[in-house]
């Protein structure tokens, strides 16, 4: 090789390295706060997002999950994402509601009655509208939806098959007015408690019970401190993956598209996880000694008390009765009137 050939080769190598360096300079490792533990639906969503993000970006971007509330309470992570000090958070939608009240329509008792309802609502125009509201209200953008299943009631004292059986039990709920008022409609005053404190609260008998989907009960090992499960099915738990809008806007248009597409893949991964794993997880809880029962009379008393007392109280916060009726129409249910 001549002197000039060596110079040209060296220049080409250096230029190639520079181009690669520039191309990877804006590579991101997104930090994702996750409320639940490993084995949960939230983790399944996070894994789906990371796999798709890496594939779609050709390995340029990745993300790291911090499970089990390592980065703080779910509501705290919304604040941190809003100001751009946290990239992303996976959390229960009831912890987004205080910041963007219209998403509370998904937390109204007995609105969503199946996984198919949840998919149709979140992936259609209703979900798109709520995402826009959340950007405007809270400074965070929903990019994926986790489908965790119905919140069922657990407790350590006795089987619960009726509203009367609830009386005397101390039940933990999130700091969410809709959920608090639902239990009040059933005749008890629940105890609002941060998610990070719930296991200890159950273990020390500060509270007797709580409600969460089967996948969460298993992931959090609540079978170690709870005995009885009641399939009250009053809320289908939807848990969004949010990104800081500030962080999102700092991305290139190409990278924004990649993040949004990875979010769609994560949503699909969540639905697949629930369909494949929920029955298996329910059997694990039985094997661990939990006793599962259904409410009397197809839950009629629970449904009547909750919908009559709670729905009207929150019409204004969710955007009016017409917003609830739009949701009901989307899933083929009859409208309500004032």
Q: Cβ distance 71 to 33 under 8 Å?
A: yes
The pLDDT of residue 12 is 46
Band of pLDDT at residue 20, cut at 50, 70 and 90:
very low
Assigned CATH for 28-148+237-277: 3.40.190.170
Average pLDDT over residues 207-227: 97
Distances (CA, A) of 272 to 32, 40, 149: 21, 13, 12
Cβ contacts of 246 within 8 Å, gap of 6 or more = 82, 83, 84, 139
CA 78, 81, 86, 92 torsion: positive or negative?
Answer: positive
Band of pLDDT at residue 15, cut at 50, 70 and 90:
very low
What tens digit of pLDDT does each residue of 240-266 get?
999 999 999 999 999 999 999 999 999
Residue 14 has pLDDT above 90, yes or no: no
DSSP annotation of 171 reads B
Average pLDDT over residues 298-309: 97
Task: Give the dihedral of Cα atoms 315, 321, 324, 326; nearest 10 deg.
Answer: -150
**Predicted model pTM:** 0.89
Distance (Å, rounded) from C-alpha 35 to C-alpha 220? 10
Residue 23 has pLDDT above 60, yes or no: no
What tens digit of pLDDT does each residue of 105-132 get?
999 999 999 999 999 999 999 999 999 9
Distance (Å, rounded) from C-alpha 27 to C-alpha 86? 16
The pLDDT of residue 1 is 53
Q: Cβ distance 151 to 69 under 8 Å?
A: no
Average pLDDT over residues 283-304: 97
Helix ranges restricted to H, 60-193: 74-82, 115-123, 125-138, 163-166, 177-185
Distance (Å, rounded) from C-alpha 147 to C-alpha 122? 10
**Over the chain, what is the mean pLDDT?**
93
What tens digit of pLDDT does each residue of 139-184 get?
999 999 999 999 999 999 999 999 999 999 999 999 999 999 999 9
Strand, coil or helix: 216:
helix
What phi, psi does 126 have (nearest 5°)?
A: -65, -50
The pLDDT of residue 24 is 54
What stretch(es) of the chain map to CATH 3.40.190.170?
28-148+237-277, 152-235+285-330
Assigned CATH for 152-235+285-330: 3.40.190.170
The pLDDT of residue 58 is 98
Residue 207 has pLDDT above 90, yes or no: yes
């Amino acid at each position: 090789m001549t002197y000039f050939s060596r110079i040209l080769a060296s220049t080409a190598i250096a230029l190639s390295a520079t181009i690669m360096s520039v191309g990877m300079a804006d590579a991101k490792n997104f930090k994702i706060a996750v409320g639940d533990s490993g084995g949960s639906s939230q983790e399944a969503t996070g894994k789906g997002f990371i796999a798709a993000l890496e594939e779609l970006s050709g390995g340029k971007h990745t993300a790291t999950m911090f499970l089990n509330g390592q980065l703080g309470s779910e509501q705290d992570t919304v604040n941190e994402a809003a100001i751009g000090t946290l990239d992303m958070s996976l959390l229960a939608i009831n912890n987004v509601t205080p910041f963007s009240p219209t998403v509370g329509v998904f937390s109204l008792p007995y609105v969503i009655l199946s996984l198919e309802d949840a998919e149709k609502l979140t992936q259609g125009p209703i979900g798109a509208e709520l995402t826009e509201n959340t950007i405007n209200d809270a400074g965070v953008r929903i990019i994926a939806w986790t489908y965790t299943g119905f919140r069922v009631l657990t407790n350590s004292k006795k089987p619960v098959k009726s509203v009367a059986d609830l009386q005397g039990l101390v039940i933990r709920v999130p700091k969410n007015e809709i959920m608090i008022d639902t239990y009040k409609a059933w005749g008890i005053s629940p105890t609002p408690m941060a998610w990070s404190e719930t296991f200890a609260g159950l273990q020390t008998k500060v509270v007797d019970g709580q409600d969460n989907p089967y996948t969460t009960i298993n992931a959090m090992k609540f079978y170690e401190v709870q005995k009885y499960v009641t399939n009250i099915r009053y809320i289908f738990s939807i848990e969004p993956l949010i990104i800081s809008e500030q962080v999102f806007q700092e991305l290139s248009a190409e990278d924004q598209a990649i993040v949004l597409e990875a979010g769609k893949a994560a949503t699909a991964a969540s639905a697949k996880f629930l369909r494949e794993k929920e029955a298996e997880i329910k059997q694990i809880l039985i094997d661990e000694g939990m006793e599962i029962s259904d409410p009397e009379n197809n839950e009629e008393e629970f449904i009547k008390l909750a919908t009559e007392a709670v729905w009207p109280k929150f019409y204004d916060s969710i955007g009016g009765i017409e917003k609830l009726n739009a949701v009901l129409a989307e899933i083929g249910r009859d409208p309500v009137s004032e």
